[in-house]
Amino acid sequence: MGWRSREDVSLDMAEPLERKGIKFIPKAAKELKPDNNQIVLIDDTVVEYDYLVITTGPRLAFEEVEGLGPDNNTHSVCTTPHAETACSAWEQFVQNPGPIVVGAVQGASCFGPAYEFAMIMDADLRKRKIRDKVPMTFVTSEPYIGHLGLGGVGDSKGMLESELRNHHMNWITNAKVDKVEAGKMFVSEVNDKGEVAKQHEVPFAYSMMLPAFKGVDAVANVGDDLCNPRGFVKIDKHQRNPKWPNIFSAGVCVAIPPVEPTPVPTGAPKTGYMIESMVTAIVHNISDELAGRPVTHEGTWNAICLADMGDTGVAFVAIPQIGPRNVAWMKKGKWVHLAKIGFEKYFMRKMKSGSSEPMFEKFLLRMVGITRLK
C-alpha cells in the first residue's frame, strides 16, 4: 500500500552483528557438506564450522502452481522486493480498479499475512472511496476461515468469518489453485474427502497469493538424513538434527508436521515468538555442550501474534502454538493496530541495539505466563 518504505522496515545487519563479535558474510551458500563440517559459498569460498545453526527461511515454491508468482500473474508479499513490486502494481490498479483475489495456495503454511493483506487492501480502498468498485474474493487451502494452519485459535473461525463478511469479501475454502492466467484464477473446491466438489473461474484485476514453502536448495540437496521431502530440516526436541548432532535449526526451515489432516494440504506456521524460543533453546544447548553438560533445553513454541487489519487488528496467544494448548486466546480491536505499529518500532530498535530479550520484556511476558524455554 506504500504505507512503509524499505528503509522503514530493514537495516544493515553488519554493524550490530560486528558489535557482538560476529563476522557477517553477505554471500549465498550453494552447498552444505555436513560430514566435513563445511559450507561452500556462491563464490566457492569454504566456511568451516564446529556447530552449524540453520535459519535460512524458506524457498518460495511458486513453480508448484502454473502462473503463480510475481514473475507471472500474481503478486507476493513474502520478500521486500516482492512487496515493492506489489505496491507499484497497486498504484496502477487503483487508477483502474476491478476484482481482487487474495489468499494462500495449497501447501501454504503462512496464512496470517493473507488475512492482513486482504484487510489492509480493504482499508486503503475505503480511504480512496473506491471500495464499491472492487469485488474481493479470499481463496485459501484452509478447511475453514480462521484455521490458520493451526486448527484454529480460540474463536478465530467465527471472528475472521465475521470480519470477511462485514467487509463484503466472498471466500472459497478447501481450495486448490489449479492454474493462474492473466486476469483469471482456476480453483477446484474440494469436499471433506478431498474430492472436487466445485470448480471456479475467478476473475481478477489484482491478486496476491501466498505460495507453499520448501527448503532452500543448499540445505535440501543434502538429502533425507538432514531434510524431509520438502527440504525442511529434521530436528529433535532440542532443535538438533538426529544424524548430525552439531547441526541445529530454527525458524521456517524446520520440519514440523501439519497439526491435523486437511482435505487440501496445509502446513503449520512458524511464528515470530515461537522462532525466538527455538533459537533460545539452541543457544543454551550449544553453551551446555561447550561446557561439557548434557543438552536439555527445549523451546516452548508459544505464539504471540498481532495481525494488522488496516484500521483495526486481531491479537492471539497460543500456548503452545501446536495444540493441545494451555491457552488459546484471541481479541479484536483498534488497540491491536496501534500495538502492531508500536511493536514494529520496538523490534527494529531492539535489533539495531543487539538486545534480543530486554529484561523488562522478559519480566512482562513472565507475568502473563509466557516464557521462551520449558
- Reported as half-sphere exposure (CB side, CA atoms, 13 A), residue 331 has a value of 9
The 196-203 sheet, strands edge to edge: 175-181, 184-190, 196-203
In a domain, 166, yes or no: yes
Instruction: Decide if pLDDT at 367 tops 90.
Output: no
DSSP string, 272-321: HHHHHHHHHHHHHHHHHHHTTPPP---B---EEEEEE-SSSEEEEEEESS
CATH number of the domain at 181, please.
3.50.50.60
| Domain contains 112 | yes
Does residue 227 have an active-site annotation? no
On whether residue 79 sits in a domain, the answer given is yes
For residue 55, pLDDT over 80 is answered with: yes
Return the pLDDT at 63.
98
* Whether residue 87 lies in the annotated active site: no
Residue 336 lies in a domain: no
pLDDT of 174 strictly over 90: yes
CA-closest candidate to residue 202, choices 189, 213, 192: 189
Residue 303 pLDDT greater than 90, yes or no: no
Catalytic residue among 78, 87, 110, 227: 110
Residue 190 has pLDDT above 90, yes or no: yes
In a domain, 193, yes or no: yes
Model pLDDT, residue 311: 86
Query: 314 forms bridges with which residues in the sheet?
Result: 307, 332
User: Is residue 358 pLDDT above 90, yes or no?
Assistant: no
pLDDT digits (tens, 9 = 90+) for 102-158: 999 999 999 999 999 999 999 999 999 999 999 999 999 999 999 999 998 888 999
Supply 85's cell numbers: 513490486
Residue 1: DSSP 8-state: -
- What percent of the chain clears pLDDT 70, i.e. is strictly above it? 100
Asked, for residue 162, whether it belongs to a domain, the answer is yes
Question: Residue 105's pLDDT is what?
Answer: 98
Q: Is residue 191 part of a domain?
A: yes
How many domains are there within the chain? 1
4 in a structural domain: no
pLDDT of 65 strictly over 90? yes
Range of the domain at 87: 62-212
Once rounded to an integer, what is the mean pLDDT over residues 349-366? Answer: 85
pLDDT at residue 1, as a whole number = 82
At 320 the pLDDT is 85
- The whole-model pTM stands at 0.92
Choice among 78, 227, 253, 305 that is catalytic: 305
- Which ranges of 183-271 does DSSP label H, i.e. alpha helix? 217-220
Q: What is the pLDDT of residues 18-53, one digit of tens each?
A: 999 999 999 999 999 999 999 999 999 999 999 999
Is the CB of residue 73 less than 8 Å from the CB of residue 182? Answer: yes
Residue 181's alpha-carbon distances to 120, 177, 185, 204, 350, in angstroms, are 25, 11, 6, 10, 43
